[in-house]
Structure 1
Amino acid sequence: MDGEIARVYGNRLRVRVCGLCWQADNLLVVRHRGISANGFWAPPGGGLETGETLEDTLVREFLEETGLHVRPGRFLFGCEFLHPPLHALELFFEATVTGGTLRVGDDPELSLLTDAAFLPVTTLAAEAAPDAHGIFRLAGSAAEVRKLCGFYRI
């Protein structure tokens, strides 16, 4: 892990709002550098700001990271990521594209994004553990990801 990531996000609880956005059986993901040597694929999402609703966070994060405007849908599931110094609670919602053009956006705090794409879940599940979000170890296909509900430790 990059030292800058640990400095900015470490040693505190971070609440993140993430979205699952589908194009057929391909899931929209962004690649972050600095988390693992090969980059880290994860659904778009980011930190909840004080006074911001969960839905507004999702809309903002998708626009920042992908250039896409989305409509938040139903709440799907939650995850806890606890690997000191990082600790995050992630709340996953459905997200439907309503406009914009897919592009590699940025993370205003660290500008660590290198790619944005709709990829098959099977491809993401085949990535080495440090290179893809933990949900892809729980669910290795689009059908399995769509069945996730409840709470998971990843």
Structure 2
Amino acid sequence: MQTLNADINKLYGGSVRVRVGGVCVEQDRILLVNHALYGPEGTFWSPPGGGVRFGESAEMALVREFKEETGLDVEVGELLFVHEHIAAPLHAVELFFRIKSFIGNAEAGADPELSADSQIIREVRFLDWEQIQRYHPGQRHRILNMAASIEGIFELNKYISGS
């Protein structure tokens, strides 16, 4: 079993976190962020997103998170599904939205919660389904393992249990 990044464990371990994620597709490719969640060489591809702050709507949080992680300005579409992630020490309830449109060029951003020498965002890019499948299931967000294609992400159950 891989060891979780110590900074992520300290910030988010042992509590329930509400997160947002955006499914942004262009030309049959989905925008994903490569996080070093399991040490400096760890790979974990997931749609851009992050935590909702107190007093912030889910849509506002997603616009902010996209800007922080990818540099893109986005227009948030409809809620697609809810995914619950439970894998101690992390527990997150994730609200995934369709991204209707974006402006800018995708590039690796930063997590303001982490110090400059503890950043975990390694890469941001659009991947097609074949490229995604080259990664081990443990290197991909669970929703990428549950769908049979990029289009299949839009057809996932409205609630995906964490167990």
**TM-score where L is the length of structure 2:** 0.88
Is the Cα–Cα contact under 8 Å of residues 68 and 97 in structure 1 kept in the other structure? no
> Which of the two has greater strand per residue?
1
Is the Cα–Cα contact under 8 Å of residues 32 and 114 in structure 1 kept in the other structure? yes
Gaps of 5+ in 1: none
Match of 1:150 in 2: 158
Match of 1:12 in 2: 15
Match of 1:68 in 2: 72
Q: Does 1:2 align with 2:5?
A: yes
SS of the equivalent of 2:68 reads helix
Which is worse superposed, 84-93 or 128-137? 128-137
Question: In the aligned structure 1, how far is the partner of 2:64 from the partner of 2:46?
Answer: 16
Is the Cα–Cα contact under 8 Å of residues 76 and 101 in structure 2 kept in the other structure? no
Deviations 1:2-27 (A, max 9, x none): 22211111000010010000012100
SS of the equivalent of 1:147 reads coil
The total of aligned residue pairs comes to: 154
Question: In the aligned structure 2, how far is the partner of 1:96 from the partner of 1:144?
Answer: 17
Match of 2:128 in 1: 120
**TM-score where L is the length of structure 1:** 0.93
Is the Cα–Cα contact under 8 Å of residues 14 and 88 in structure 2 kept in the other structure? yes
Is the Cα–Cα contact under 8 Å of residues 20 and 43 in structure 1 kept in the other structure? yes
- Give the drift of 1:153: 2.6
Match of 1:41 in 2: 45
SS of the equivalent of 1:60 reads helix
Match of 2:110 in 1: 106
Question: In the aligned structure 2, how far is the partner of 1:15 from the partner of 1:31?
Answer: 20
Question: In the aligned structure 2, how far is the partner of 1:122 from the partner of 1:153?
Answer: 26
Q: Which amino acid aligns with 1:130?
A: G
**Identity of counterpart residues, as a percentage?**
38
- Give the drift of 1:102: 1.3
Report matched runs for 1:88-107 at 5 Å: 88-107=92-111
Question: In the aligned structure 1, how far is the partner of 2:64 from the partner of 2:154?
Answer: 23
Question: In the aligned structure 2, how far is the partner of 1:151 from the partner of 1:125?
Answer: 23
Q: Which amino acid aligns with 1:138?
A: M
Of 60, 72, 77, the match for 2:81 = 77
Question: In the aligned structure 2, how far is the partner of 1:88 from the partner of 1:121?
Answer: 25
Cα RMSD between the aligned structures? 1.5
Question: In the aligned structure 1, how far is the partner of 2:15 from the partner of 2:152?
Answer: 31
